[in-house]
Structure 1
Amino acid sequence: MKKIIVFLLLLLGVAPGPASAESYKVSILPRFFPEKLTAMMTPLVKYLHEETGYDIDLVLTKDFKDYESRLAKGEVAIGFQNPVVYTRITPQHQVVAMAQENGEDRFRGLVIVRPDGPVRRLKDLKGKRVMIVSETSAGGFLSQKLTLMENEIAVSDLNLEVAADNRQENVIIAVSVGDMDAGFIREAALHVADKYIAPGSIRDIEKTAWLPGWALSLDRGVPEAARSKITAALLKLQPGSPEMKALEMDRFVPAKDADYDATRKASGGR
């Protein structure tokens, strides 16, 4: 009977179940312009295909909201996102690895301004126009929010505006041309928009609170065999490899959901 069912499926052009499990979609939180995201992820996609034998397809999303929605719906099996977004998708995804950069399994944000602007120090931010990447951005909002709280400055005292499409570049450009008095970005993104702005048109006035590294997560429905194979491939990557260089990271290290509890509490996540 089993052979008959398989034969009928083939006649109908429907492959038996295991074939669909060999293909997985991967995506990255869209904090940069699409061209840069594609350049960052393509070497990793190729590597995972070669190491696991699975078909790995890169999917780029419009903005943070679109990214979170697609992972939450189970449309993307492999996600690479900041700790805030990770805590919001944990009902559907589970972290398997954490990214290290500059020898640290943590990162932080910056407060940037124009050198000739009205903001010289943190307390000057009160009442000023400040652009953030997104309220679910870790390096472009939560890191700065925690530092402001430490300095007894309420986020509500700032006139916040969210960057178009949640791009770090758009924050930098807006500050550089004087449309905004200040901007919140990830420390590693400081020079990402250099080709779009005049030299010396921005500077950072504060390095803000540390947060745990970006989470590489898998959909909870991914079979255990595939989960193990993908995780092993990620942890095998070495600093300086083409894949890690493209991601602008050092390596992936083992991670568990509890590593993000502090972020979950600070951001009000689940």
Structure 2
Amino acid sequence: MKKINVSLCFLLCWIFISPANCIAGDKYKLSMLPRYYPKKIKEMIVPLAEYLSKEIGATITAVLTKDFTEYENQLKNGEIEIGFENPLVYTKVSQKHEVLAMAIQEKGGNQFRGIIITRPDSNIQLFSDLRHKKIIIVGKTSAGGFLSQKLSLAKNGILVEKDCDIEEAANNKQENVIISVSIGDADAGFIRESALHIADQYIQPGSVVVMTPCEWLPNWAISVNRAMPGPVKAAIKSAILALDKNSPVLKAMHIAGFKSAVDSEYDIIRNIL
């Protein structure tokens, strides 16, 4: 009888401390670096939150932040446990967050890049033409809307923060960069390549052209708070990597999938800063 009772105790303990039971009932917040307007960000991350909730058994809630600074601070202070951010912001929060997976694009794979845009009637054709010009950027913590272009300019002998007149876009939005260039408020703009047509409904057709693509960077990171229980991290990673390329979750995020990633893959960004 004692053997049966001991076995029963072990069985009950295993049931109640198993990963599935550790996760059930847990609540976490998920967000994305707000490079687009709130409506667009919500459309991109709500399907992911719902998918993860269903797959791992926890309640995952999609939340929005007003700008890059608020997003970064909320990852650092633990308010947001699951994030999707560019490589530059990831390196800034990596003491508190760890990467689980890296986004994959149809074009560029696990890399992405920024572009420089101008008006078609602009005389800006070469990197050297940007010297002393007014340039609107997404923000200094934007990888596709600043860092990629900064690297290309540096390779061509231009220190963008010293040699150009830089202005950050309102609310760090890619759309606002495009609109500003379109109406002539800036000589040139820095945006992510995939964001080129995000503001088409707000500008005159043909009022913006691509001057040049810029340096490739490691892609966006899915990261989680380092204090999150191991079984939860493993469950989230497994669910994300299991997404099929035709999944509505991936289509909403405008990516082809995710690959497993480790922190050292972002050292190239740290070495630049």
1:131 aligns with 2:136: yes
Contact 1:118 1:181 in 2 (8 A): no
Q: Considering only CA atoms, is the larger Rg found in Structure 1 or Structure 2?
A: 2
Greater shift, 232-241 or 113-122, is seen at 113-122
1:44 counterpart residue number: 48
- Structure 1 residue aligned with 2:181, among 175, 178, 184? 175
Letter in 1 for 2:113: R
- Rounded to whole Å, the distance in 1 between the matches of 2:224 and 2:95 is 11
2:145 counterpart residue number: 140
TM-superposed CA distance for 1:21, in Å, is 6.5
Letter in 1 for 2:229: P
Greater shift, 165-174 or 100-109, is seen at 100-109
1:25 counterpart residue number: 29
1:213 counterpart residue number: 219
1:236 counterpart residue number: 242
1:192 counterpart residue number: 198
2:117 counterpart residue number: 112
1:80 aligns with 2:105: no
SS at match of 1:210: strand
State the TM-score, normalized to the length of structure 1: 0.91
- Rounded to whole Å, the distance in 2 between the matches of 1:66 and 1:209 is 27
- Rounded to whole Å, the distance in 1 between the matches of 2:175 and 2:206 is 15
- Rounded to whole Å, the distance in 2 between the matches of 1:21 and 1:211 is 38
2:9 counterpart residue number: none
Letter in 2 for 1:140: G
Contact 1:113 1:183 in 2 (8 A): yes
1:252 aligns with 2:252: no
Post-superposition Cα deviations, 1:162-186, rounded to whole Å, max 9, x if no partner, equal 0000000000000000000000000
- Rounded to whole Å, the distance in 1 between the matches of 2:236 and 2:200 is 35
- Structure 2 residue aligned with 1:157, among 136, 157, 163? 163
TM-superposed CA distance for 1:120, in Å, is 2.2
Flag the 1:20–1:46 CA change in 2: closer, same or farther, 3 A.
closer
Contact 1:111 1:204 in 2 (8 A): yes
Contact 1:132 1:184 in 2 (8 A): yes
Flag the 1:164–1:20 CA change in 2: closer, same or farther, 3 A.
farther
2:268 counterpart residue number: 262
- Rounded to whole Å, the distance in 2 between the matches of 1:21 and 1:259 is 33
Contact 1:125 1:158 in 2 (8 A): yes
Contact 2:115 2:192 in 1 (8 A): yes
**Runs of at least 5 residues in structure 1 that lack an aligned partner in the other structure:** 1-17
TM-superposed CA distance for 1:117, in Å, is 2.0
TM-superposed CA distance for 1:249, in Å, is 0.4
Question: Please, what is the CA RMSD of the aligned residues?
Answer: 1.4
Post-superposition Cα deviations, 1:194-238, rounded to whole Å, max 9, x if no partner, equal 001010000001100000010100000110011110110000012
Flag the 1:21–1:72 CA change in 2: closer, same or farther, 3 A.
farther
Greater shift, 253-262 or 99-108, is seen at 99-108
Post-superposition Cα deviations, 1:79-135, rounded to whole Å, max 9, x if no partner, equal 000000000001100000000001510000000000012322221111111000111
Flag the 1:19–1:229 CA change in 2: closer, same or farther, 3 A.
closer
SS at match of 2:30: strand
SS at match of 2:215: coil
